[in-house]
Structure 1
Amino acid sequence: MTGARITAEGWGWRHAGRPTAAVAGLDLTVPAGQKVLLAGPSGAGKSTVLYALAGVLDPADESEETGRLLVDGVPTRELRGHAGLVQQDPETQVILSRVGDDAAFGAENLQVPREETWDRVRDALDAVGLGEGEGIALWRDTSRLSGGQKQRLALAGILAMRPPVILLDEPTANLDPAGVIEVRDAVLAVAERTGATLVVVEHRLSVWADHVDRLLVLEPGGGISHDGTPEELLAPGEVRDGLAAAGVWVPGRVPPSTPRNWRSNPAHSGDESAGDRAASDLQLRQEGTTAAGSDARSARRLLSARGLSVSREPLRTGWRRRFSPAPAPVQQGLDLTLEAGEAVVVTGANGSGKSTLLLTLAGLIPSHAGSLTAGTRLRGEHGVRLPEDPYRWKAADLVSRIGTVFQEPEHQFVATTVRDELLFGPRHARDPQTGRRLFTDDQAAERAESLLGALRLTALAEVNPFTLSGGEKRRLSVATVLAAGPEVVFLDEPTFGQDATTWAVLVGLLRGIVAEGRSVVAVTHDRDFAAALQARTVRLEAAA
């Protein structure tokens, strides 16, 4: 099999309900077998181009198409199955309940002979690190995979198809550092072996820049602003500087992030200043284990876990326990403490239980064993009678104390417009000290407008959240939590899908709330993010 030729002739696309086009005037020719890295600021239309090439965009849904987009001279909608697409959200691509069946789904639909299909499946799973050598059996339940493992599974399904065109939308966004290299090399090996044309969308250019033939940079709402080899466009000089200024992640550059003075919770209006807090932290370090130091540290403690074990599978009770073993935890025996004004990042290999730990600490799933205790500072005077374990709190008690940003942004959207999404949290937040509403309607509206502007979402305020790009959904999901002003913010991969500019804004907002005396806990593989927050690192090792 060989690759396919891609041609765009004045092509453009306007999504239904949007006043402006996502892409316009795209003129492009990609020779068969070429490897292309597609870059550009968040919202520039990169995913739209990939979806169009995969033939899954349909103008019949009140969208509007201009020009022509062809693969080997044929309109892309007439060649479905000719291109393999890995989307940003792997949850949307897991179809079947067993790993092997899911990886085989595409090849079976292309009527690949059965014996060859399973040879391809095993080869693809091994290539992306999900083979039996890694302890992942073909009959493994796909619901038990982590987000990063599901991303690998989606890619394995595409590699098993061996299509003429491979389309990847941020394929390494949720992978651990070793997995990034493993997956990239697997893609390149398949492309080399089959001659497939490869188009990769990625914000972090350094992963792919040395391995592709061509770098294309999209202009938001337009066509191509830059077209050349990575060596040409990323060489020191005016072009490289211009790309960095436009928000492109130029290798070797980390955008500066300024802490934003985000007075997000009026309950903190009398908090100690940054200088006082720094002096307090120094005193704690000097006092060590003295009684005074211990009392001060206890007063700042928000959460404390002792011998904590975590699992997505609840413990079986009653008669069921007699006939089946209790599910094994993904992590066990963890001792963790979170204090006010602290940033913590949780790292580790895919499948090591990072997201499960995050959801447990946030009070959204029960602990498997051990104890999780909320300190008096987190519970507040009004909540002194709350149970110690946040999992036993009501939603109204959680919203003003603990906010959680899920790995999949769509899992937390509850409104029909971006603006209403941002208003929902402040309207339901309650002051931990009094139980009264934390924000008036006017204050809630002011906070929503401020976050819309800060995160470049103002033009999308009346848009349905589910129609946003991946990067826009991530910014909105973070903003909805910040809008409610909780004491602790838990975030799962908060920076995926962000260009350098929006990354710096998100980091600045989070640095601001830490400086304010509240806390941030993030699951992330983004080392620049951890460094910018000066975060303490908790690394989880994969369960044996």
Structure 2
Amino acid sequence: MAGVAPVAPPVTVGHVILDAVTWRPFGRREPVLHDVSLALEPGERVLLVGPSGSGKSTLLRAIAGLLETADAGELAGSVTIDGHAPGTRAGEVGLVLQEPGAGVVASTVGRDVAFGLENVSVPRADMPAAVAAALGAVGLAKPGDTPTSALSGGETQRLALAGALALRPSVLLLDEPTAMLDPGHAAQVRRSVEGALTAYPITAVVVEHVLGPWVDLVDRLLVLDDDGTLVADGPVHKVLRDERARLLDMGIWVPGAPPPAPLAPAALAAAPQSSRTQEVTATPMVIDRTVRLVDGSTRTRTAATLDVPLTPLPTSATALVGPSGSGKSTVLLALAGALDPVQGSVTVGETPVADLSTTELASRVGWVPQWSSSTLVGRTVLDEVLVASRALGEESPERVTLAHALLADLGLGHLEGADPRELSGGEQRRLAIASAVLHRPPLLLADEPTVGQDRHTWAAVVGLLAAYREAGGAVVVSTHDAALIDRAHTVVELDAPPAAPIEEEPRRVLAAQAGPLALLLGALVAIPAGIIPGHWHTSLGVLAVQALLAVVALWSGPGRGPRPTGRAKRVLVRMLPGLLGALSVGWSTWLLGGHDTTTAVTAALRVLIIVLPSAVLLPLVDPDRLGDHLAQRLGMPSRPVVALAAALQRVHTFGEVWSEISLARRVRGLGIDRRRPVALVRDLATVTFGLLVRTLRMAADLAVAMDARGFATASRRTWFAAAPWGRADTLVTLGALVPVLAAVLLT
């Protein structure tokens, strides 16, 4: 009938039922979730709250059916969505993890958002519009080819939300989606969530510590207590009214209640040691960061600009504030000696902080990173707190007693024997703070120290920071927490670095215009080219042909942009392992072959022939395109292909992970000592083992993120990008065969 607006169809999907769900991770004596039973109606908007460590994130994983994807433990009870087990239908549950950077599955923004769409078989022609809509919904105004490695923490958080919204799931689970964002961007994300839930009335569960901004966007409030038991459930305003006193007593951030008074800690009565009180001074500075692009090249951009000098004095508190992506974390990294500014300096006296030895740095600086999981090196929570004290030779019965008291002050006393990697995000952050202050350095650098804290743990953290400062320490925090900013003596506001001027894209080298299959084939064909020659004269001729082809392959292609730089240097660096291998093979052949120099040289040259094409071509292989080509052109099963592409995409981050682990160890007195060869080898082995452990954890988190976007149950998959075989692929393949032909003709 004219003039009557159509009525939206009723929501018929997204009915969630939990029946007596209990989860106890291996290594924990008590369950994290205890006998949780509830039903979520289709289209219901739910806010899930509870004290830090009460199992909120665990409950979200239970609803998503992902508890046993990456975690080991005992699960009892059942979860169903629309009558079936969660995770059995691709894309029906969207989950944004607490640490969204762990969920990045592609090397570019567009591909990352499209990942879930591929898993639910959205036609390729429809994907660009869906990706653009999802990015617009969360306010992430980035071109689709922007490297995901170039995003700030807050931008990565919005990317994860966009990836979940793009799926239009029947159940949307958000784990603290605005925790790391400034108020403006946090409001933008809430508006985008509200808009998405209005347009697509799906069941939504949001975990947040700060309730106020969300109460008008949700229908229902669920409350978990410290034991992971559901203790309150009902309409949000009714629960807040009827249970106000109880919620405040539990530490819930009830809207309208003022921040609690900071708690005076029983520990940390002693002042920072007087021998360590020489101040860190930062002059006005500009800090650049190098970003790896998907074609293997790099680009430098300004990551932070500090316009004022900064000298944190004893008993002072400085707050770095500014919008997400303004460089607050970057400035803290510079103060910790992890980054050298391109302008300005960070010094202790006349010595750059970056030049301090590991023990000198640890004795002067305590560091709490943005993602506290990156600093974990101890086997247990107690070991973790004592790391720096042991490295500095200061462990004593009194220090151990202080560690017990400090953990108790921060609500971690009952977890002293637990694996720190199994703690919740809020618990890990408090543990990082305890680890940074126990050895009493004069300067504490804390990145978002109050994120993920309930009222009680917030009061404990702020009280500890105040006690540390009053005892003579200097505190520099990066924060969006207004109550914490109000307690600072100095507030330094950082502006987002100006957008880099639009530059012409550098011309791609000729080989980069080929697809990944041709590049891989070009590298593999080098094996017979190396085996065929029987004399060093022939091998040298083949190597010369390869060198000439490498020059051609790395020659800048046609176009108007600037020529790429550093090509030869990068190839030489990649050839270093091959050169060492060639020398080793040549030496062993000479030693075992009767000191026959001819045979030894031939063997060494064979190694170089096999390695050179790989050094030239393999860095040009884009993991995402490799997955496209393996599946679409070779017909390989999509699941192992996508897993391989995602894993290779993470390989490029190993350098960053190594640097992160190295900094975490260095700032705690465990850094590599290059002056002692034996210690150097031991420390390198330790960092390598740490890289392995961290990589396994990253792989587990990546599996959760991929399965949360329909990867586990994708029966038929579409692909965001095509996989053409062009003229460049043919030319690279034919060029790779030339050394083989030369080897045959010269033999």
- 1:481 Cα shift? 0.6
In structure 2, the partner of 1:288 is none
CA distance change for structure 1 residues 389 and 417 in 2, over 3 Å: closer, same or farther?
same
Aligned residues of 1:373 and 1:388 also touching (Cα < 8 A) = yes
Aligned residues of 2:153 and 2:180 also touching (Cα < 8 A) = yes
Paired residue for 1:163, among 169, 182, 190? Answer: 169
Paired residue for 1:41, among 35, 51, 63? Answer: 51
- Describe the SS at the equivalent of 1:311: strand
Aligned residues of 1:401 and 1:486 also touching (Cα < 8 A) = yes
TM-score computed with the length of structure 2 as normaliser? 0.62
Residue deviations 1:236-280, cap 9 Å, x none?
xx6201101111011122111134364365654899xxxxxxxxx
Do structure 1's residue 310 and structure 2's residue 315 form an aligned pair? Answer: no
TM-score computed with the length of structure 1 as normaliser? 0.84
- 1:344 Cα shift? 0.7
Deviates more, 1:73-82 or 1:85-94: 73-82
- 1:347 Cα shift? 1.0
- 1:83 Cα shift? 0.6
Residue deviations 1:373-415, cap 9 Å, x none?
324xxxxxxxxxxx52101111111111011111111110111
Q: Structure 2 matches for 1:72-83, cutoff 5 A?
A: 72-79=82-89, 81-83=91-93
- Describe the SS at the equivalent of 1:400: helix
Paired residue for 1:13, among 8, 13, 23? Answer: 23
Aligned residues of 2:271 and 2:473 also touching (Cα < 8 A) = no
Provide the C-alpha distance between the structure 2 equivalents of 1:86 and 1:5, rounded to a whole number of angstroms. 19
- Describe the SS at the equivalent of 2:309: strand
- Describe the SS at the equivalent of 1:24: strand
CA distance change for structure 1 residues 542 and 222 in 2, over 3 Å: closer, same or farther?
closer
CA distance change for structure 1 residues 404 and 2 in 2, over 3 Å: closer, same or farther?
farther
Question: Which stretches in structure 2 are left out of the alignment for 5+ residues?
Answer: 1-10, 292-296, 499-747
- Describe the SS at the equivalent of 2:262: coil
- 1:331 Cα shift? 3.0
Provide the C-alpha distance between the structure 2 equivalents of 1:344 and 1:70, rounded to a whole number of angstroms. 49
CA distance change for structure 1 residues 266 and 222 in 2, over 3 Å: closer, same or farther?
closer
In structure 2, the partner of 1:144 is 150
In structure 2, the partner of 1:398 is 361
- 1:26 Cα shift? 1.3
Provide the C-alpha distance between the structure 1 equivalents of 2:347 and 2:70, rounded to a whole number of angstroms. 54
Do structure 1's residue 263 and structure 2's residue 268 form an aligned pair? Answer: yes
Do structure 1's residue 25 and structure 2's residue 25 form an aligned pair? Answer: no
In structure 2, the partner of 1:122 is 132
Residue deviations 1:42-80, cap 9 Å, x none?
111111110111111129965212221111111225346
In structure 1, the partner of 2:426 is 471
Paired residue for 1:516, among 463, 466, 471? Answer: 471
CA distance change for structure 1 residues 150 and 427 in 2, over 3 Å: closer, same or farther?
same
Provide the C-alpha distance between the structure 2 equivalents of 1:90 and 1:60, rounded to a whole number of angstroms. 16
Letter in 1 for 2:448: E
Provide the C-alpha distance between the structure 1 equivalents of 2:444 and 2:347, rounded to a whole number of angstroms. 17
Provide the C-alpha distance between the structure 1 equivalents of 2:55 and 2:306, rounded to a whole number of angstroms. 46
In structure 2, the partner of 1:496 is 451
Structure having the higher strand fraction is: 1
Provide the C-alpha distance between the structure 2 equivalents of 1:209 and 1:401, rounded to a whole number of angstroms. 44
- Describe the SS at the equivalent of 2:289: coil
Do structure 1's residue 206 and structure 2's residue 206 form an aligned pair? Answer: no
Q: Structure 2 matches for 1:150-189, cutoff 5 A?
A: 150-189=156-195
- Describe the SS at the equivalent of 2:346: strand
Residue deviations 1:92-129, cap 9 Å, x none?
11121111111111111121112222211111111212
Residue deviations 1:313-361, cap 9 Å, x none?
39xxxxxxxxx99834233362222222110111111111111111012
Provide the C-alpha distance between the structure 1 equivalents of 2:439 and 2:119, rounded to a whole number of angstroms. 46
Q: Structure 2 matches for 1:48-447, cutoff 5 A?
A: 48-58=58-68, 63-79=73-89, 81-131=91-141, 136-235=142-241, 239-253=243-257, 254-260=259-265, 262-263=267-268, 268=273, 302-313=279-290, 327-332=300-305, 334-337=307-310, 338-375=312-349, 388-429=351-392, 437=393, 439-447=394-402
CA RMSD of aligned residues (A): 2.3
CA distance change for structure 1 residues 90 and 326 in 2, over 3 Å: closer, same or farther?
closer
Runs of 4+ with >4 A deviation? 59-62, 264-271
Report sequence identity in percent. 39
Letter in 2 for 1:260: P
- 1:476 Cα shift? 0.9
Residue deviations 1:109-159, cap 9 Å, x none?
12111222221111111121212xxxx221111111111111111111001
- Describe the SS at the equivalent of 1:490: strand
Question: Which stretches in structure 1 are left out of the alignment for 5+ residues?
Answer: 272-299, 315-323, 376-386, 430-436
- 1:24 Cα shift? 1.5
- Describe the SS at the equivalent of 2:308: strand
CA distance change for structure 1 residues 538 and 116 in 2, over 3 Å: closer, same or farther?
same
Aligned residues of 1:311 and 1:356 also touching (Cα < 8 A) = no
In structure 1, the partner of 2:480 is 525
Aligned residues of 2:368 and 2:433 also touching (Cα < 8 A) = yes
Provide the C-alpha distance between the structure 2 equivalents of 1:128 and 1:359, rounded to a whole number of angstroms. 28
CA distance change for structure 1 residues 523 and 255 in 2, over 3 Å: closer, same or farther?
same
Residue deviations 1:168-218, cap 9 Å, x none?
000000001001110011111111211210000000001201110001111
- Describe the SS at the equivalent of 2:130: helix
In structure 2, the partner of 1:320 is none
Letter in 2 for 1:518: G
Aligned residues of 1:455 and 1:506 also touching (Cα < 8 A) = yes
Which of 1 and 2 has greater Rg? 2
